[in-house]
Amino acid sequence: MQLLFIHADFIEYEAKEKTRIAEEIAGGRKKERIEEALVVFTAVERGDVEKESSIIEKAADEIRSIVQQVHAERVVLYPYAHLSSELASPEQSLELLQGLEEELRARGMAATRAPFGWYKSFTLSCKGHPLSELSRKITVLEGAVAKEGEQERKSKALEAEEKAVSHLFVMGEPGNLVEVDKFEFGATHANLRTFYLYESEKRREVDKIPPHVELMKRLEIADYEPSSDPGNLRFYPKGRMIKALLEDYVRNSTAAYGAVEVETPIMYSVWHPSLKDYLERFPARQYSMMGKEGKPDLFLRFAACFGQFLMSKEMSISYKNLPLKIFELAPSFRKEKRGELVGLRRLRKFTMPDMHTFCATLEDALAEFKKQYELCMHVLEEIGFTPRNYEVAIRFTRDFYEDDVHKAFIEDLVRIAGKPVLIELWDQRFFYFVLKFEFNFIDALGKASALSTVQIDVENAERYGIVYTDADGARQSPIILHCSPSGAIERCMYALLEKAYLDKEAGLLPMLPVWLAPTQLRIIPVAERHMDYIKELLPHLNGLRLDVDDRDETVSKKIRDAGREWIPYVAVVGEKEVERKTLRVTIRKESSQEAQKVEEMSVLELKKRIEEDVQNKPFRALPLPYKLSERAKFTGG
């Protein structure tokens, strides 16, 4: 629907001559003069009619908003076909306009409507203030919104979900399900309590800016980019490298698990029948791309599901190939609401490792689910999170839990976690999962964010027409597991920074795992003449990310700066070291806020030590010039 608004001193019109589609004019009032009105020239377009009630509602919202802004006394709806080249049929248009008129009156606005389908003369006096001429396009399309203004129309799936009742429990000991408000959290399980409160009450009284936001800037990791859409961040060399290493690690882990890596497009047609249902559930979170006539016809994916499902549909899959695992490191887009975006925690553009596993039976799926549960724990552990750093939530339907085998299965998961787990029981299934878990990180401000997750999906194979051939030659729909072993890469970075901050609060020195540290070893010459010795050392320290602080600064200053960068190993080189062929190394992990741990060691010892820290993690070269004097600053902190 196209709207053109004129705030007018008056409008005067006269219906002159009927067209074929003219409506009867009630009371024969062919001539009208209306003072102090917001005149709304309106064209109803093709496609508006199917969404009639939402279109009317949105249009009424717009009109009311403008009426209030310009303090108009009344509204005149004026049918004006020339605003669009894609008109709806006259009958439909008239009906919609009548509906809109009623809606405006129902909202307490004085509304009149010029007769439809007549040749009319009119005189209009525009007030000419800044807001006196405005236009709006009102669109409601599945999932996609052309104008701003979120579309809150709920799909059936959403309504079902809202009706779905769920119950929270804690499983302290395997098998012992306790209602969540009866569970004794104590000091040991304070984080689980925080997580539960977060889930149920959503209480988040916080007045600090999130520690990781400050850190991501100060450590030259990432930053906001005001010239993009909010939630699309820029990554500086150090941040880019950390992100790449995490990506490498997750990719290697899924490959070792047996997944094959693919890449699928990041945008899809909103008109695709299989995608429609999916989209309908999350109408407001779609990043849409405008197509012809300003209608959105492409959307950016919010996960890798679409691409992989569309790909899988065309594959020939035998039961012998199952379980089949497909992995993708998927740049994904979710148009989160403005107020929900925070630093690296909640973004509109992020990188989602997404693995889909096709299984023949629910038993197979459960077996795989358990393996992936353990895989996720392992991946998080290697990234730098022990189970103490996250809380486990397992969610499933009541039906699922009635089965003794399934019950034992859940208990097993709790046993593996080795700590109490939050359990959510759904009375009925909504959306596509029957069982899912997440590992949730609790940050310095008591907010919870999901990292790893696995879901069992029993619907999408059918929806997308994905089949495999069973031993009898019959076509079957597989069960699909969705797994993100680490959760979004950016979110891992957020959690690492928040964890470091929590360590600092606890009296430790904050740092990143050595394999992720942008600089693993910094060498500080006491005077310029020691640079020669350092240059001799460099070849022996190959394969480490090391840099040299060759700036014209005091040793103290350089030590302090290295500390501010959280560098795990800082080696000072002066006369003694040159003489004795050693390095004097400050070891951050063993230092405290009060005292530094300094150790004299040989180059080989140091190299070995760092290699032990790093083990067999992915490696990337130093992302910046190795001489600090040659480095530009990316942020001013």
Partner RNA sequence: GCCUUGGUAGCAUAGUUGGCCAAUGCGCCACCUUGGUAAGGUGGAGACCGCGGGUUCAAAUCCCGUCCAAGGCUCCA
| Of 96 and 454, CB closest to RNA | 454
Residue linked to tokens 């030259």: 220
Please provide the DSSP assignment of 98-133 as one string: HHHHHHHHHTT--EEEPPTTEEEEEEEEE--STTSE
In this structure, is the dihedral angle defined by the CA atoms of residues 35, 37, 42 and 47, taken in order, positive or negative? negative
d(CA 293, CA 85): 9
Of 92, 111, 108, 102, nearest to 43 (Cα)? 92
| Of 231 and 485, CB closest to RNA | 231
541 touches 609 (CB < 8 A)? no
Q: How far is the CB of 524 from RNA (least distance, A)?
A: 8
d(CA 618, CA 73): 68
| Of 282 and 401, CB closest to RNA | 282
Q: How far is the CB of 86 from RNA (least distance, A)?
A: 26
| Of 204 and 627, CB closest to RNA | 204
Q: How far is the CB of 404 from RNA (least distance, A)?
A: 29
Q: How far is the CB of 291 from RNA (least distance, A)?
A: 19
Q: How far is the CB of 257 from RNA (least distance, A)?
A: 20
| Of 229 and 536, CB closest to RNA | 229
Q: How far is the CB of 243 from RNA (least distance, A)?
A: 18
d(CA 250, CA 577): 40
d(CA 239, CA 251): 18
Q: How far is the CB of 37 from RNA (least distance, A)?
A: 22
Cβ-Cβ contacts under 8 Å for 412 (sequence gap 6 or more)? 174, 370
| Of 341 and 502, CB closest to RNA | 341
| Of 233 and 324, CB closest to RNA | 233
Q: How far is the CB of 163 from RNA (least distance, A)?
A: 13
d(CA 165, CA 426): 6
Take residue 286 and report the two structure tokens written for it: 């779609």
HSE-up of residue 17 (Cα within 13 Å, Cβ side): 2
| Of 120 and 281, CB closest to RNA | 281
| Of 402 and 552, CB closest to RNA | 552
Cβ-Cβ contacts under 8 Å for 18 (sequence gap 6 or more)? 117, 118, 119
In the 8-state DSSP scheme, what is residue 620?
Answer: -
Q: How far is the CB of 26 from RNA (least distance, A)?
A: 37
Q: How far is the CB of 602 from RNA (least distance, A)?
A: 14
Q: How far is the CB of 83 from RNA (least distance, A)?
A: 23
Residue linked to tokens 């990292």: 451
| Of 278 and 409, CB closest to RNA | 278
Take residue 637 and report the two structure tokens written for it: 């902190």
Q: How far is the CB of 199 from RNA (least distance, A)?
A: 8
| Of 20 and 633, CB closest to RNA | 633
| Of 2 and 586, CB closest to RNA | 586
Q: How far is the CB of 440 from RNA (least distance, A)?
A: 10
Please provide the DSSP assignment of 11-41 as one string: EEEEEEEE-TTPPPPGGG--EEEEEEEEEEE
What's the angle, vertex CA 380, arms to CA 377 and CA 382, rounded to 5? 110
d(CA 444, CA 508): 15
Cβ-Cβ contacts under 8 Å for 435 (sequence gap 6 or more)? 366, 369, 394, 395, 396, 397, 400, 455, 456
- Per DSSP bridges, beta strands 569-573 and 521-525 are parallel
| Of 208 and 292, CB closest to RNA | 208
426 touches 395 (CB < 8 A)? yes
HSE-up of residue 199 (Cα within 13 Å, Cβ side): 26
Q: How far is the CB of 400 from RNA (least distance, A)?
A: 18
Of 247, 252, 237, 254, nearest to 616 (Cα)? 252
Strand partners, 298: 269, 289
In this structure, is the dihedral angle defined by the CA atoms of residues 366, 368, 371 and 373, taken in order, positive or negative? negative
| Of 418 and 637, CB closest to RNA | 637
User: Helix (H, G, I), strand (E, B), or coil: what is residue 495?
Assistant: helix
